[in-house]
Chain A
Amino acid sequence: MADQPDRALEELYQELILDHYRRPRNKGTLEPHTHHIELTNPSCGDELEVDLFVAGDTIADARFSGRGCSISQASASMMTQLIKGKTVREARALAARFNEMMHGSADAARDKALGEARSLVGVARFPVRVKCALLGWNALEEGTKSSL
């Protein structure tokens, strides 16, 4: 019992997550871009900006910037990797899938379509951190609402 929380922590802070935190992929801004979304979490001060370049209906490029905890940064980094080359509709479907995983869906956690983002499955056990993992995905969903 005593070491159960430690196992949850080890699952939360997997090497892959720390790798994305320390060496974020697609970090920076995108010029030119077709979409720019800024989201902040006023309760903790985390800030995240997502830039997209959408050509036709395909996300040709995606970047993110800002600062925050390992979970928000790693999640945004993994998201940009996943959505590049996808259509806006496909990317939004991934966001919905990721959301399901964050809310405990075992089915979503097995979905290979989520790629490395599946490593964030452990966040679901820490309800206060779920909003960190969702920050980038929420930006994606909000910014592409009108692109459908």
Chain B
Amino acid sequence: MSPRTAPASLRRDVRDDFPILRQPSNGHRLVYLDSAATSQKPQVVIDAIASYYGGLNANVHRGGYDLALRATDAYEEARARLAAFVGAPDPRGVIFVRGTTEGINLIASSLGQLKVKSGDSIVVTAMEHHSNLIPWQLLAQARGAQLVMVELTPDGRIDLEDFRRALEQEPRIVAFTHVSNALGTINPVAELVRLTHDAGAVAVVDGAQSAPHLAVDVHALDCDFFVLSGHKMLGPMGIGAVIGKPELLDAMPPYHGGGEMIHVVRDTTATYAPLPQKFEAGTPNVEGAIALGAAIEYLRGLGMDAIAAHERQLVGYALAQLSAIEGMTIYGPMDERAGVISFTLADIHPHDLATIVDQDGVAIRAGHHCTQPLMRRLNVSATARASFYVYNTEEDVDVLVVALQKARRLFGLTHG
């Protein structure tokens, strides 16, 4: 069903596919600039959830009747689609979880038991989302291991010298984000993975902010684990995936115990199901997986390269327009940036900015973006953040700019 050759540029009417964007917000056209928090859903994804419950609902991998077999097939087809979408050679390495947070907790807990002992070190960077930090803190504390945080350059990239220094301690696991949710920085993942492997460590990539926006090829990146959230890539909430190398997943102990993940259960012991079921205890989020499959089909139809090009163009436009506002500070690199712009405006607190632009129907995020170590390094307690996706346009940027000018006026920063 995917087009044989991916389109070079985005359809102009993409916004029409998203029913939520038709409703007004505070009496204005809704300008949704918070896709880094969660994306909106196209009609095909909403329909996929309804048609699952309308025609396919049964528990998977259990019943031997027709409906259960069809539900299982649809669930497994979604897994195969996701594997192909991120370039994973073997769908057995695709584990469905609730989202990136659960996925990283799974890896930290299970891989941690396999690899990390007292005195070992684990490496993260200073730009991680709390979901790629706290699980490693917990693991380090539980194991008596040391957590090392790699510093950033002044323009918000991973400091490669510091990264190399951290690797000299021969860590067991190195975890880093592909794209920063707070700064938009696109990290050189292939290079970071290579350095990590050269140091003998396992590379865990947080792909929550990259999978929705860039063509990802985990095989080419050679990362050991790649984790994503469905709801940030046009899919529903409560579904995500760990994409891991099967040989590592095979060696790791189970994460959750329960139904579906077992082979033979005796009174005091059990043997476990093969991948991927070994890591999918309990009834999975079947409609979530199927609707994520629909989202992937939709994204492939738009073309990931076309999406990336659209966002590059939009971010370039937004950076130029925002920079022209007096008192504007923009954080993060000016190139190699995904569709995320964090900023502050003069002495107006980000929460005040968010309240003011909301009155014009503009939804932006204000706060620490679950990156408190990064905020401390930027010497701010919060920033405002505008983030973009397929349905955003230059007009959305213009509305934001006008609303920010109003904020300056309300705070007495303009004359007349």
CB–CB A43/B359 < 8 A: no
Residues of B350-409 whose CB lies within 8 A of A:
350-352, 355-356, 359-360, 366-368, 372, 375, 381-382, 406
CB–CB B367/A43 < 8 A: yes
Knowing A2-B27, A10-B410, A44-B368 are in contact, say whether A69-B351 is a contact too (CB < 8 A): yes
Knowing A1-B27, A8-B359 are in contact, say whether A44-B352 is a contact too (CB < 8 A): no
Question: Among the listed A12, A18, A45, A128, which residue makes an inter-chain contact with B412, where contact means beta carbons less than 8 Å apart?
Answer: A18
Give Cα A8–Cα B360 distance, bound, in whole angstroms.
12
B411 within 8 A of A: yes
CB–CB B359/A13 < 8 A: no
CB–CB A13/B382 < 8 A: no
CB–CB B351/A9 < 8 A: no
Inter-chain contacts of B349 with A (CB < 8 A): 68-70
Which residue, of A13, A47, A68, has the highest number of chain B Cβ atoms within 10 A?
Answer: A13
Closest to B360 in A: A5
Residues of A1-37 whose CB lies within 8 A of B:
1-2, 4-6, 8-10, 12-13, 15, 18, 22
Question: Among the listed B352, B366, B368, which residue makes an inter-chain contact with A13, where contact means beta carbons less than 8 Å apart?
Answer: B352
Give Cα A45–Cα B373 distance, bound, in whole angstroms.
12
Closest to A12 in B: B355
B26 within 8 A of A: yes
Inter-chain contacts of B375 with A (CB < 8 A): 45
CB distance from A20 to the nearest CB of B (A): 13
Inter-chain contacts of A9 with B (CB < 8 A): 355-356, 359, 406, 410
Which residue, of A1, A12, A69, has the highest number of chain B Cβ atoms within 10 A?
Answer: A69
B347 within 8 A of A: yes
Knowing A44-B366, A70-B352 are in contact, say whether A5-B26 is a contact too (CB < 8 A): yes
Residues of A27-79 whose CB lies within 8 A of B:
43-47, 67-71
CB distance from B119 to the nearest CB of A (A): 32
CB distance from A39 to the nearest CB of B (A): 14
Give Cα A31–Cα B380 distance, bound, in whole angstroms.
27
Inter-chain contacts of B356 with A (CB < 8 A): 9, 13
CB–CB B411/A18 < 8 A: yes
Closest to A14 in B: B410
Which residue, of B347, B375, B381, B412, has the highest number of chain A Cβ atoms within 10 A?
Answer: B381
Inter-chain contacts of A132 with B (CB < 8 A): 351
CB distance from A43 to the nearest CB of B (A): 7
Give Cα A10–Cα B359 distance, bound, in whole angstroms.
12
Inter-chain contacts of B27 with A (CB < 8 A): 1-2, 4-5
Interface string of B16-51 (1 = CB under 8 A from A): 000000000011100000000000000000000000
Which residue, of B27, B349, B360, has the highest number of chain A Cβ atoms within 10 A?
Answer: B349
CB–CB B26/A13 < 8 A: no
Closest to A15 in B: B412
CB distance from B354 to the nearest CB of A (A): 9
Inter-chain contacts of B355 with A (CB < 8 A): 9, 12, 126, 128-129
Give Cα A44–Cα B355 distance, bound, in whole angstroms.
13
Inter-chain contacts of B367 with A (CB < 8 A): 43-45
Inter-chain contacts of A15 with B (CB < 8 A): 412
CB–CB B351/A47 < 8 A: no
Inter-chain contacts of A68 with B (CB < 8 A): 349, 351, 381
Give Cα A69–Cα B382 distance, bound, in whole angstroms.
10
Given contacts A69-B350, A71-B352, A132-B351, 6 further A-B contacts (CB under 8 A): A1-B27, A2-B27, A18-B412, A44-B382, A45-B375, A67-B381
Q: Enumerate 17 A-B pairs (CB-CB under 8 Å) in ascending A order.
A: A1-B27, A5-B27, A6-B359, A8-B359, A9-B356, A12-B355, A44-B351, A44-B368, A44-B382, A45-B367, A45-B375, A68-B381, A69-B350, A70-B352, A70-B411, A126-B355, A128-B355
